[in-house]
Structure 1
Amino acid sequence: MSDLEKEISPSGSVQELRDAAHHNALVTEVMDKQITKWEAMKRHPYACFCILTMVWVLISTSFESQAGGTVISIGVFREDFGHLVDGSYVLRSTDQSILSGVPLATQIVGQWLGSWLADKFGKKWVIYGGMLTSCAFVGMEFAATTMGVFIAGKTLNGFSLGVIQASCVSYVADISPLPLRGLSTALCNISFSIGPLVVFIINYCVANFKTRWAYRAMLSSQWGFAAVSLVLMLLIPESPTYYILQGKVDKAEQAYRRLLGDPVAAVNQVTVVKETVLEAEKISEGSTYLDCFKGVNLKRTMVSCVPFMSTSFSGVAFTGSYTTYFFQLSGLDEQKSFQYTCGAQAISIGGCIASLFIVDRFGRRNNLIYGLLSICLCDLIIGATATASDSKPEVLNVCIGFMMLYGGIYNAGLGSVCYPICAENPTSALRTKTVALGLASGNLFSMMWSFVIPYVFNPDQANLGGKTMFIFFGISVLIWVHIFFFQTETAGRSYDEIDEMYASGIPLRKFQHYTSKLANIDVGLTEEEKAVQVKHVEEL
C-alpha cells in the first residue's frame, strides 16, 4: 500500500470521505475541461508567469547551446584555436567533431541524471543548480586560451543544460491548467528558436571585431540570460506534483494556492493529482527508469519518445546545421548567406507561433501526422530540386526557398507537438524521466547525424549536397507509417483520463473516440455542495 493510500485508507466514515474526494476530483476535472484558454489565463496569471519563467530558462539553455558552437564561424576564434592552412586559419576536423558531438553526449547524460535528481530533490532547485553550474562552465569557455580548456567547458556545460531541460518541460506540464497545457508545453519549443536567433544577431554584430571579444562577447552574453533566469526562479514555487509524490500534501496545497490564487481551487487540484497518482499506482508501481519499460508503461514511453526521435530523422539535423554552408556552396556570398539564415530562423519562429493556435485545435495526433507528412514533401522537393539544379541552375532558387521555409513548416507541426505528447502520455510519477528519455533520444540521433552528415554532404566526401534530403525522406516515410498506427490523441484530456485510456487497452490510434468516466459526471453543483466537498477534502 502506498503512502497516499495509507493516508486515505477507507474505514467506516473515512470511506465516505474517500468517495467524496474521488467524486470531487472528477467534478474538478470536468469543470477544468469547460474553461477556455483566455478564462484560464485571467483566473491564473501567476501560473502563467511561472510557465513563462520556465520558457525563459529554456531560451537561456538554447542560447548557450548555440553560442558555444557558433563561435567557430568567427575568424578571430579560428586564429586563436586553429592552425594555418593555405593562408587561412581553420579548426582541425577532430576538434570540430568533438565540439559538435561530445557536448550532445553529456547533455544526454545530464537529462537522464537530472530527471532522477528532480524526482529526489525537487525540480525547482535542480534547475537552479543546473543554471549556476552552467554559469561556471561558461566561465571556462570565456577564459579558455587552448582548445582543450574550451572543449572541457563546453562539454561540462552540455551536462548542465541537459539537467535543466528535462526538468523545465516536466515542470510546465505539472503546473499548467488543463486548457493551457497544450499551448504551454508547445511554448517550450519556441524557446529553441528564439535563443539561436539572438545568437545569430549577436554574431552578426561582433563577427568583424579584430580582438578576442569577437567571440568572448558572444560567450559572456550567456551570463545575462542566466542572471535573469536565476532571479525569476526565486519567484516561483516548487512543482506541487513533486510534493504529492513525496507525500507532502500540505506543501503541495500551499504551492497550488500560490499558482492558482484560490484556496478552494488549490484543494480541488491537490485532490485531482492525488487521485491521478493513486490510479496510476494501481496499474504500475515504481518510478525508476526501468519502470518506463515495464507493462503498459512501455507503450507510454514509446508514444512519448518516437516523436522526438522522428525530429532527428526528419531532416532538421541537416537544415538546422548546414543551411548557411549550403547557401554558400550554392553561390551566395557570406553576408547574403547570413541574411538568408536569419530569414530562415525568423520563419522558424513564425512556425512556432502558428503551432500555438493549432496544437489544441487540431489535436496532437493530427498535428504530428500531417506535420510529418509536410516534412516528407519538403524533403522530397529539396532533394529533387537539388538534383535538377545540376542541369538547370535556375531551379536552385526553389531549393533555397524550401530550405528557408523548412524550419517554419517543421515547427508548426512536428517540432512543437513533440513536447505536449511527451509531457502528457507518461504517468505523473514517470513524467520527468520520460521527458528526459524523449529529449535524450532526440539528442542521441542528432549526435549521430553530426558525425554522419559531413561525410554525406561535403564536397570532398560523397558530395550529395541538397540531395542528402532524399535519405531523410525515405526514413521519414517509414516513421510516418509507424505514427499512423501507434500515435495517441490526448488533447483536452486530463491526466486521469489518459491513465484510464491506457488501462482500458484500446488501440492507441483510437484514443480520440474513447468515452471516459468523466462523461457521466454531473457538474450541476450548488455553491453549498461545493463547499461541503471542499470541507471533506480538507478533513482528509
Structure 2
Amino acid sequence: MAPRLQFFVVSYIKPNSVVTTTSRKSTMADRATADEKAEASVQHYDSVDLTNKALNEGAKQATAAEHNLTFLQAIKTYKRAAIWSVLISTTVIMEGYDVTLLGSFFGYPEFQKKYGYLTENDGWQLDANWMSNLNVIAAVGNIIGAMLNGYLTAKFGHRIVLMGSMVLLVGFIFIVFFAQSIEVMFVGTLFCNIPWGVFATSGPAYAAEVAPLALRGYLTAYVNLCWCIGQFISAGVLKGLVNVPNQWSYRVPFAIQWVWPIPLTIFVYLAPESPWFLVRSGKLEEAKKSLMRLSAPEHDIDYNAQIALMVHTNQLEKEERKGVNYYDAFRGTNRRRTEIACMAFLSQITNGGALCYSGSFFFQQTGIDASTSYGISLGGTGIAFVGTIISWFYLSKFGRRTIWFTGFSFLVLILLLIGILATVPNQTKSLAWAQSLLTIVWLGAYSMSVGPIVYTIVAEIGSTRLRTQTVVLARSTYYVGNIICGGLIQPRLLSPTAWNAKGKTAWFWFVLAFWTNVWGYFRLPETKDRTFEELDIMFQKGVSARKFADYQIDVDEEFSTQR
C-alpha cells in the first residue's frame, strides 16, 4: 500500500492528532518538492541525444512510474486528463450520428418520396445507384478530412485543427438541410463528411497522448462509446419522426447536427494541447505546462522525468526515421505498424458491419414494417451502448489481441447463422425475425469486443512521431473499405431494385470475416501494459505478434547510454 494511502486508512479508522500533524508536515514537504520539480527547466533536453545520462535516468524513472500506477491512482492523479480526453472524443458523437442517419434514410418513407421514385411493386424507393453514390461520397469526404487532419495536426496541433473543422461544419450543414434534389444532397454529404473525418481521427490520437498507461485503454475505447451514443441519438430521432407525414421528418434530424459545434468548440479551445505534439515541436516547457494541466497539482509527479521519457521516445524513433509524413509510415518498422492499424480498422468493415448497421433497411427487406424496423434499430443501438460499457470491465484484465480475436470469431459465427437461415427454402416471418434479431446480437457482440478494442489498438500501435498519421491511414483504409463494401456492394445486395439478396448477403460477409480472423491470429500483437517506448523496442527487434504479450524487456539495457 502506498504510504499516503496507508496513512489515510489508518488516520480515518483511528484519528490521532500527532499523526495528523506529521501528515501535514509530510504533505507540505511533498508539495515543496513538487514545486521545486515544477520550476526546474526541461528545455535543455531538446539539445541532448540518447547518450545523455540524465535523459536516460529520467526516462527510466518515468517508465517505472507508468507501470506502478494503478487504475485508482491514475483516476485520482490524472482525472483532468480523463475529462479532457472524454470531451475531445465527444466530437466523434457527430460522426456516429451522421453515419446512422444517412444509411437509415434509405428506408425512410418521406426521404424516399423526396429523393426517390415510385415503383410498381415496392412503393417509393431510392435508386440503388444513388444509394451507392451517397455512401461513396460520404467516405470520400471522410478520407479527405482524415488526410488533411494528418497533415495539419503535425503542423498546428489538435486544438486548432478541431476548432477550424467545427466552424466549417456549421456552414456545411446548411447544404443538406436545404437540399431540394438528390444532387445537392450528394454535394452536402461530401462537404459535411470532411470535418467528420477530422473528428474520427483526432479522438483516438488525442486520448492516447494525454492518458497515462493505466487509463489509455479505457479512454481510447471511449471513442467507440461516442459512436454508440451518436447512433443511439440518431436511431431515437429517426424512430420518433418516421411517421411524420412531411419534409420535417428528415429535415429535423439534419438540423439537430447544429447542436454540437458551439459547445464543443468552447471545450476544444479550453483544452490543453497534447504534450507529445509539443515535444515533437521542440516546445518542452509548454509540454510540461500541458502535463501539469492534465494532472492534479496535489500529487507528487515528476514532470521532468515524464518529459525525459517523451524526448527519449521521440529520439529513439528519430534514429530510425526522422520524418513525420505519410511516406515515413510505410518505411522501416512503421510499415508493419501501419499494416496492423489499417487492418484493425478494416476489420470493422469486413466483419459484416455494413449489413448489421444498415439494420432498419435490412429489416424492411425481410418483410418487417418501417416503424417496427426503426424500433428494432433503436433497441440495437441501446444494446451497442451497453455492450461498450460492459467491455470496460474486462479491458484491463484481458489483452487487446484476446478481446479482438474472441469477439471477431463470434461475429463470424453469427454471420454464418444468418446466411444459413436466409438459405432455408420457403422463407417465413419467423425466419425473417430470426435473421433480424441475429443482427442485434451481432451489434451486442461487436460493441463488447471488436468495436471498442480497435480504437485502442489503432491509437497505441503507431509510433509517437507518426501516431496521427497512422490513425489517419488506418481510418482512411476503413473509409475505402466502406466505399467498396458499404457503398458499392452492400446497397446492391439488399436493394429490391438491384440484386435483392436479402439475408443471403451474410454469406458474402462471412467469407470476408473468416479470412480477416485468420489475419488477426497471425499478425495482431498484444499492446496491453506497454509504454510507447517499449512498443518501439519490440517492433525494432521484430518480435512476433504472438510473442508480444510475454516478451521481457531488459530496462537497464534499453536505457543504457551505450547505444
Give the direction of change, closer, same or farther, for the CA distance of 1:388–1:107 in structure 2 (3 Å limit). Answer: same
| SS of the residue 1:287 aligns to | coil
CA distance in 2, matches of 1:74, 1:403: 19
Could you say which residue in structure 1 is the equivalent of 2:227? 192
What is the CA deviation profile of residues 439-475 of structure 1, one whole-angstrom value per residue up to 9, with x for unaligned ones?
A: 1111111111121123333445444321221222222
**2:67 aligned to which of 21, 28, 33:** 33
Deviations 1:168-211 (A, max 9, x none): 22111110111000111111111111101101111222333344
Equivalent of 1:316 in 346, 349, 353: 353
Provide TM-score, normalisation by structure 1. 0.89
Question: Partner of 2:426: helix, strand, or coil?
Answer: coil
What aligned pairs does 1:326-475 form with structure 2 within 5 A after superposition?
326-388=362-424, 390=426, 394-449=430-485, 450-475=487-512
Matches of 1:303 and 1:81, distance apart in 2: 40
8 Å CA contact retained: 1:131, 1:164: no
- Opposite residue 453 of structure 2, the aligned amino acid is V
Per-residue deviation, 1:257: 0.9
Is the contact made by 1:60 and 1:226 (CA closer than 8 Å) also made in structure 2? no
Aligned to 1:483: 520
Distance 2:44 2:328 in 1: 19
TM-aligned CA deviation for residue 498 of structure 1: 0.5
TM-score, normalised with respect to structure 2: 0.86
Could you tell me the percent identity over the aligned residues?
A: 26
1:502 aligns with 2:539: yes
Among 299, 317, 327, which residue is 1:290 paired with?
A: 327
**For 1:63-99, what per-residue CA distance to the aligned partner results, in whole angstroms no more than 9, with x for missing partners?**
2343345445444444444445559554444332222
- Cα 1:108–1:267 change in 2 (3 A) is same
Deviation string for 1:14-54 (max 9, x for gaps)? x7xx3133122222222222222222111122111111102
Q: What is the one-letter code of the residue matched to 1:373?
A: S
Deviates more, 1:259-268 or 1:328-337: 259-268
Decide whether aligned partners of structure 1 residues 91 and 352 sit closer, same or farther in structure 2, where only a CA change above 3 A counts: same
CA contact (8 A) 2:225 2:385 kept: yes
Go from structure 1 to structure 2 and tell me whether the alpha carbon gap of 1:252 and 1:168 turns closer, same or farther (over 3 Å shift). Answer: same
Counterparts of 1:304 and 1:53, CA distance in 2? 24
Does structure 1 retain, via aligned residues, the 8 Å contact 2:132–2:491? no
Q: How many residues align?
A: 513
Distance 1:389 1:173 in 2: 50
CA distance in 2, matches of 1:249, 1:517: 28
**Structure 2 CA distance for aligned equivalents of residues 117 and 25 of structure 1:** 29
The farther-off stretch of 388-397 and 90-99 is: 388-397
Displacement after TM superposition at 1:369 (Å): 1.3
| Offset, 1:494 | 0.5
Structure 1 residues 203-222: aligned runs within 5 Å: 203-222=238-257
2:160 corresponds to: 125
Instruction: Tell me the residue number matched to 2:33.
Output: none
- Is 1:257 the counterpart of 2:292? The answer is yes
Match of 2:148 among 102, 113, 138: 113
Structure 2: tracts of 5 or more residues without a match: 1-42
Aligned match for 1:67, one of 101, 106, 112:
101
Does 2:91 match 1:57? yes
After TM superposition, give the deviation of residue 388 of structure 1 in Å: 2.7
Equivalent AA in structure 1 for residue 129 of structure 2: T
Q: Which amino acid aligns with 1:383?
A: G
Q: Note if contact 1:5-1:278 (Cα within 8 Å) is conserved in structure 2.
A: no
Gapped runs of 5+ residues in structure 1?
523-540
Conservation of the 8 A alpha-carbon contact between 1:123 and 1:168: no
Matched to 1:112, the amino acid is M
Does the 8 Å contact 1:170/1:423 carry over to 2?
A: yes
- Aligned residue for 1:526? none
Q: Distance in 1 between matches of 2:248 and 2:242?
A: 9
Decide which of 263, 266, 277 is 2:314's aligned counterpart.
277
Give the structure 1 partner of residue 183 of structure 2: 148
Assess, with a 3 A threshold, how the Cα gap between structure 1 residues 389 and 198 changes in structure 2: closer, same or farther.
Answer: farther
Q: Is the 8 A contact 1:25 1:271 kept in 2?
A: yes
User: SS at 2:55's partner residue?
Assistant: helix
